[in-house]
Amino acid sequence: MLKKLIWNDVRQNKLLSTTTVFFMAVSAMMLALTALLFSSLLGSVNGLMEQAQTPDLVQMHTGALDEQEIAQFAGERQEISQWQICRFLNLDNSEITLGGHSLLDSTQDNGLCIQSERFDYLLDMDNNRPGVLSGQVYVPICYRTRYDLNIGDTMRVGSETFTVAGFLRDAQMNSMMASSKRFLVSEWDYERLKPCGEEEYLIEFLLKDGADTNTVSAAYTRQRLPADGPAITKPLIRMMNALSDGTTIFVIFLAAVVMLLVSLLCIRFILSIRMERDKREVGMLKALGIGRGEIKRLYFSKYILFSVCGGLLGLGASAILQGSLEQQIRELYGASDTGAQAAVLALCAVAAAEVLILLSVWHSLKKTDWLSALSALFPVREQKQNRRRYLLIGSVAAACTFLMLLPQNLYSTLSSPTFVTYMGIGNADIRMDIRQGADISLTTARLAAALEQDGQVERYAVLQTGSLPAVLSDGTTCNLIVEMGDHTIFPVRYSEGTPPVLDNEIALSSLNAKELGLSVGDTLQLRINGAETRCSVCGIYSDITNGGKTAKISSSANNSSVIWSVLYISLKDRSASARWMEAYSQMGADVTDIENYVRDTYGPTLVQLGLASRGATLIAVLVAFVVTMLFLRLIVERNRDAISLQKALGFTSRDIGRAYCLKGFLSAAAGVISGLALGSLLGESLCGLVLKSLGADSFRFIIRWEILLVGIPAIILGTTILAVLMGTAEVQSVKAYECCTGRE
Amino acid sequence: MKKLLRIEGMTKGQILHQITFDMEPGEMVAVMGPSGSGKSTLLYNVAGMDQPTSGQVWLGDEEITKLSEDDKARLRLHRMGFVFQQMNMMGNLNLIDNILLPATQANRGRGRKSKEELNLRARRLMEKLGITGLEKRKVNQVSGGQLQRACICRSMINGPEILFADEPTGALNKSAATEVMGELVKLNREGTSILMVTHDSRIASSCDRIIYLLDGQISAELTLGKSVSGVEKRREEKVARWLMEMGW
Ligand SMILES: Nc1ncnc2c1ncn2[C@@H]1O[C@H](COP(=O)(O)OP(=O)(O)O)[C@@H](O)[C@H]1O
Ligand SMILES: [Mg+2]
């Protein structure tokens, strides 16, 4: 009997039932997708890092190196289980050609290396350690699609030719955010090509389980061991690996949350419509002596059926979509063996979504006073319901706007030229790095002199980096990587304070400030050019370069302490930059177009984010359309009598429809406005939280106002107008005489 | 004299067949017949709320059956009034706003009247029908008789040429029905033509003419002429006899 009642009801209310199941399925699908992708990304990244045996700590170093010193350090520290020094032959990008494409415009440091001995292995596409014959090369996987490479293509380094024998997964440098890319060659070729490039060292440590990377890193720095280059830790590597795909998953997750909220709203609402519609039957059931609890159970079992259907549909859909979305993850990091775990996680996510929906339905059922529903004065209630329906249209418009806005804001922020200031790079057009050569300072001075004479240069700044010994107020000593020069010409983003101007001022990157426990106004002792100087912290800035741990002072360095120097330049005429850069790269500097650099670094993330943004737009448009149309239809349906009466009295369909359209449209417009506000404020703090962990402080969206104020409102409002028009088209079909006959 | 309403060969599906009759200005005509004979359908089709399958309907010089939906709506708004059996009113408006609803809708564009003027007109009508003081009441706060009188006010607010009424007293008790009927007769005396469906022979006997509908066709007509006071009893008996002949 119960089965029959449920089944008949589902059949009679096809639209409402389908809509309910649809919402349940979509929320389930998106949450399941988030879970599946998240666990597969983490699984793949972790799997690769495990197989490659990624080091816990990597210190890069250019210049002379005493292996004995490091061996002694490793022997003394008990946390260190293994160590090794990997050689990396940094090549000049202009010398490299990959399958016909020159790497001249690449902003990565491309170089050769041989397979490591003890850990940090470079793996092939089956996650095995490939054997390389002489004349063969294994190319980083991220270049495969970028340069459209196949096995058998050639790679040229100067006059030498290699055959691409396969592709490499480099657990440490896979991400475009890692600044170097390693090509694997045979030892014989490596030695032969040595004169073509500059050799650098990766000093790598594998720690015992449970050892703290930071203490080892601090000890290393304290002992003044070779550290002319950035240091990287395993968590940072993991983060860089996960970030570009993680961003997409983050957007999918957000969309899932918004979808779940919309579903909760709509399902509860559909329930209240059903109960309105069933008032008479419920009364009859009660008259027959069926209790209130029994009726509630009748309704609830219907929703359990719906949620099982919706959950299964959602799981199925997510399994279908998973494959295509996972492709990039699988290519970069290999398949994960977490299939079962992912499935369980997805199942949990779906179950959580459905349970949440069912709880809200139960709450709704419990709250409703059936008695009052029976004796309700129909017209008064109806008006209140109308208002709630318009409110719902508004909330859904707000949610959809939010959903579109957030990825869009993220995208415009990451693609904006000013975003580099969050990365710790000044907002200039061009950057020149001088990291190699006998005398860095001399080269720097020569370039600076040339720039001074150059008529095309608008402004430029010379920043020289040294590793300076510092003494904190509690007596501990350490080496700080300090950038010296005028920091006011191309300032980075300061979350607190100002750039250093006076000789005794120092600015710290936010990660450094946190680690050293210093804030604006505190002091530390620094040996600058041989003289002990008491410096006060004048500002804290955002920096994610060099592992995010840097400092800035205004006094210029003397020659001996400089590890590398960077020149920032802005040109009067940006369009002529290519030829200009060409000229300067002859003078011993590594010249980079900053826009190119950002595009290279964030390119994959941006492509993903662009996709996610488009996907979010599609979902938002679909949801806004379906919900708005559905609810206007319901409003018209519920007001059928009133509409018919108005028609009998001589109102035209257009007059009546216009009133409904206007109300529907105004609710949507109000929703869009609140969605914009919500997306800008809440979204900002949400993303800020994520970026803060990377070292980018005081995050602000860089907003493209024309999209925010025109594009998104136009899309959502356009969709709602269409939906409103279609939803109110039903007004036409209402007959004037319906009100006279007393329908049904 | 020019006809007010002309219906020629009107057919509506299987419900009405070849209906032909007309009405003079100022006439009050009753439509009677067994339940399901098509009385209501006749009213809806004449008033342009529904479209006949064939045949023509004229209101004065205007051929209603030729007009678009919107034009028919305008015609109803400005030239026709309706009183229904169910006493349909908008639940979210009070009594006077309900009465004013067609007036505000009609009162648009050039030469619009002030709100006070419309209000005054509504109050006058309410006074005439004896429901003064109920202006701010909700629809569910008045009795059936009062509500039907408010409906009559609403139907009269735009000064229609003809009033259609579908069993206007059907849902009322006897004394309320008599009162409401009295109001309708009074309106007719003041010049409004009325076409009314009724089940009550006593009420029908105060009309000028009775049309008897059977199975969607006009089977008989009885012309009584304007009623004069003092002869009500005789008219009622005459109507009752006539109805008996029809098998009422
Ligand atoms: N919408 C409709 N569709 C089909 N038949 C209808 C419809 N409305 C009424 N009818 C039929 O038309 C006939 C006349 O109905 P109606 O005009 O309401 O009769 P009356 O008002 O005389 O009681 C009835 O037999 C009824 O069943
Ligand atoms: Mg009827």
- Tens of pLDDT, residues B147-181: 888 999 999 999 899 999 998 888 788 888 888 88
The last residue of a domain, from among A545, A565, A587: A587
Please count the CA atoms within 13 angstroms of the CA of B128 that sit on its side-chain side.
18
| Tokens 């035209």 -> residue | A652
Q: Are residues A402 and A287 in the same domain?
A: no
**Where are the domains positioned within chain B?**
5-246
The type of residue at B15 is I
Per-residue pLDDT reduced to its tens digit, A403-417: 888 888 878 777 776
Contacts of A653 in chain B (CB under 8 A): 69-70, 73
Residue B12 pLDDT level (bands cut at 50, 70, 90) = very high
Based on its alpha-carbon atoms, the radius of gyration of chain A, rounded to whole angstroms, reads: 32
* Residue A504 structure tokens: 């005794």
* Residue A369 structure tokens: 């006073």
* Residue A572 structure tokens: 């009067």
Q: Are residues A75 and A214 in the same domain?
A: yes
Which residue lies with its CA nearest to atom 8 of ligand 1?
B41
Q: Are residues A608 and A583 in the same domain?
A: no
| Nearest-ligand number for the alpha carbon of B84 | 2
Count of the separate structural domains present in chain A:
4
- Are A667 and A394 a contacting pair, CB within 8 Å? yes
Q: Are residues A119 and A208 in the same domain?
A: yes
pLDDT at A373: 41
Q: Which of A243-252, A435-444, A640-649 has the highest mean pLDDT?
A: A640-649
Query: Helices B144-156 and B115-128 sit at what angle, rounded to 10 degrees?
Result: 130
Q: What angle do CA A282, A284, A287 make, to 5 degrees?
A: 110
Judge whether A427 lies within some domain: no
What gap in Å lies between CA B49 and CA B242, rounded to an integer? Answer: 31
Q: Which of A473-477, A634-638, B75-79 has the highest mean pLDDT?
A: B75-79
Does residue A277 have a pLDDT over 90?
Answer: no
For residue A568, give Cα distances in angstroms to A364, A448, B124. Answer: 62, 10, 86
When scoring B40, B85, B92 by the number of chain A Cβ atoms within 10 A, the one with the most, hence best to mutate, is B92
A647 touches chain B (CB under 8 A): yes
pLDDT at A5: 64
For residue A62, give Cα distances in angstroms to A220, A224, A711. Answer: 16, 15, 49
Judge whether A336 lies within some domain: yes
Q: Are residues A366 and A398 in the same domain?
A: no
pLDDT at B206: 87
Among chain A residues, the shortest Cα distance to B43 is held by A737
Q: What are B82's strand-pairing partners?
A: B164
Does residue A112 have a pLDDT over 60?
Answer: yes
pLDDT at A146: 81
Q: What are B162's strand-pairing partners?
A: B80, B193
Residue B101 pLDDT level (bands cut at 50, 70, 90) = confident
In the DSSP assignment, the letter for residue B93 is S
Q: Are residues A262 and A148 in the same domain?
A: no
Q: Are residues A75 and A215 in the same domain?
A: yes
Q: Are residues A696 and A625 in the same domain?
A: yes
Q: Are residues A193 and A130 in the same domain?
A: yes
In the DSSP assignment, the letter for residue A493 is -
What gap in Å lies between CA A14 and CA A22, rounded to an integer? Answer: 12
The last residue of a domain, from among A183, A200, A227: A227
Domain at B5-246, CATH from 1.20.120.450, 3.40.1180.10, 1.20.120.1780, 3.40.50.300: 3.40.50.300
DSSP string spanning A411-472? Answer: HHHHHSGGGHHHHT--S-SEEEEE--SS-HHHHHHHHHHHHHH-TTEEEEEEEEEEEEEEE-
A72 touches chain B (CB under 8 A): no
Residues of the domain holding A679: 378-418+599-744
Does residue A505 have a pLDDT over 80?
Answer: yes
Please give the torsion angle defined by the CA atoms of residues A373, A359, A405 and A178, in that order, rounded to the nearest 10 degrees.
180
* Residue B68 structure tokens: 């678009």
When scoring A385, A387, A740 by the number of chain B Cβ atoms within 10 A, the one with the most, hence best to mutate, is A740
Residue A211 pLDDT level (bands cut at 50, 70, 90) = confident
Judge whether A130 lies within some domain: yes
- Are A147 and A181 a contacting pair, CB within 8 Å? no
Judge whether A426 lies within some domain: no
- Containing A266, the helix (H) or strand (E) segment is helix A234-277
- Ligand 1 pocket test, pick from B41, B86, B167, B214 with the greatest ligand atom count within 8 Å of Cβ, gives B41
Judge whether A505 lies within some domain: yes
Closest listed residue to residue A553, CA positions, set A495, A466, A476, A490? A466
What gap in Å lies between CA B83 and CA B74, rounded to an integer? Answer: 17
Q: Which of A592-606, B154-168, B218-232 has the highest mean pLDDT?
A: B154-168
Per-residue pLDDT reduced to its tens digit, B34-59: 999 999 999 999 998 889 999 999 99
Judge whether A721 lies within some domain: yes
Q: Which of A280-294, A392-406, A682-696, B98-112 has the highest mean pLDDT?
A: A392-406
Contacts of A378 in chain B (CB under 8 A): 91
Q: Are residues A111 and A10 in the same domain?
A: no
Q: What is the mean pLDDT of residues A723-732?
A: 86
Per-residue pLDDT reduced to its tens digit, A516-573: 888 888 888 888 777 788 889 998 887 766 666 788 888 876 656 677 788 888 888 8
Residue B10 pLDDT level (bands cut at 50, 70, 90) = very high
- Polymer length in residues for chain B: 248
What gap in Å lies between CA B42 and CA A253, rounded to an integer? Answer: 61
Share of chain A above pLDDT 70, in %: 89
pLDDT at A289: 63
How many beta carbons lie within 10 A of that of residue A309, not counting itself?
15
Q: Are residues A383 and A367 in the same domain?
A: no
Judge whether A424 lies within some domain: no
Per-residue pLDDT reduced to its tens digit, B192-215: 999 999 988 888 888 999 999 999
Per-residue pLDDT reduced to its tens digit, A299-335: 888 889 899 999 999 999 988 888 877 777 777 777 7
| Tokens 């579908």 -> residue | B166
Judge whether A528 lies within some domain: yes
What gap in Å lies between CA A703 and CA A687, rounded to an integer? Answer: 14
The last residue of a domain, from among A184, A201, A227: A227
Contacts of B49 in chain A (CB under 8 A): 647-648, 735-737, 740
